Structure 1
């Protein structure tokens, strides 16, 4: 029993490490600038398709998916980067001004940044599950984020905890941070994906 539990644990750790190394490899293939978005989408695709079946998560399939994801991955990634950049700039300007009204504005801007990041995570994940156009994907991700405030909090808090742990243990940047973010989003949104499947008539 203990041996089986340890084996399962080591397999999960290996999948996390493997996917994170794939993320860095594919990011470098895109010279980082145009590689991060497709790489994130690729490790999402691989995990959604194979989960913890580590033997099926191969570099060959990853490379094929990276090429397929190149354009959409960059559109999604730089879309959220642009949004977060605009919100962060407005937050920078807002905190310079004192007053209750601007404190409320600061809170709304911070919430909008969190909301944008969670919507991006939803978009990556949902795009791996469903064949859907970009416009409809963004609509579904937006609706999904609004549908369950608890899920939004779970994803946001989970990512915040991962970033804090990464700050304490820098080695996770290479071996686990990015893949764990995607795996956490996968886990946190399971109930909502089942709801979507039911409404689409895909639930077994």
Structure 2
């Protein structure tokens, strides 16, 4: 019993490490500038397809997905970057002004940044599950984030904890951070994805 539990634990750790190394490899293949977005999307797709079946997660499949994801992955990633830059700049200006009104504005801007990050995670997951146009993908991701505040909170808290642990243990940046974020988002949104599937079946 203990041996089986340890084996399962080691398999999960290996999948996390393997996917994170794939993330860095594919990011470097795109010279970081054009690689990070598609690498995020590729890691997400590999885990959605195979979960913890580590033997089925191969470099060949990853490279094929990475090439297919170049355009869409960069559009999603840099779309997020533009939104975060605009919100971040406004937050920078707002925190320099005192007053209750600007404190409320600060809170709204911070929430907006968190919401944008969570929506990005939803776009990656939903795009891995369904064949859908980019416009409809973004609409579905926005609806998904608004559908359950608890899911939004779970993803946001989970990502924050992963980044906090990474800050303390810098080695995770290379061996675990990005894959753990994708795996956590996958786990936290499971109930919502099942709801979407049930609604699609009802309309079929």
TM-score (norm 2): 0.98
TM-fit CA distance, 1:138? 0.1
Q: Which residue of 1 aligns with 2:151?
A: 151
Per the alignment, residue 57 of structure 2 pairs with 57
Is the partner of 1:131 in helix, strand or coil? coil
Q: Give distance in 1, aligned partners of 2:164 and 2:52.
A: 25
2:134 corresponding residue in structure 1: 134
Give runs of aligned pairs for residues 15-54 of structure 1, distance below 5 A. Answer: 15-54=15-54
Q: In the TM superposition, what is the alpha-carbon distance from 1:14 to its structure 2 partner?
A: 0.3
Structure 1 moving runs of 4+ over 6 Å: none
Partner residue in 1 for 2:68 = 68
Q: CA deviation at 1:84?
A: 0.3
CA distance in 2 between counterparts of 1:43 and 1:96 reads 39
Other-structure match for 1:110: 110
Encode CA deviations 1:165-197: one digit per residue, 9 max, x unaligned: 000000000000000000000000000000000
Structure 2 unmatched runs, 5+: none
Q: What displacement does 1:27 show? A: 0.1
Deviations along 1:109-130, one digit per CA (max 9) or x if unpaired, are 0000000000000000110011
- Aligned-pair RMSD on alpha carbons? 0.6
Equivalent in the alignment of 2:195 = 195
1:3 and 1:87 map into 2 onto residues whose CA distance is 49
Per-residue deviation, residues 21-77 of structure 1 (Å, max 9, x unmatched): 000000000000110000000000000000000000000000000000000000000
Corresponding pairs, count: 202
Cα distance in 2, alignment partners of residues 6 and 130 from structure 1: 34
Aligned to 2:98: 98
SS at match of 2:143: helix
Out of 6-15 and 193-202, give the one that drifted further: 193-202
State the 1:97 CA deviation. Answer: 0.6
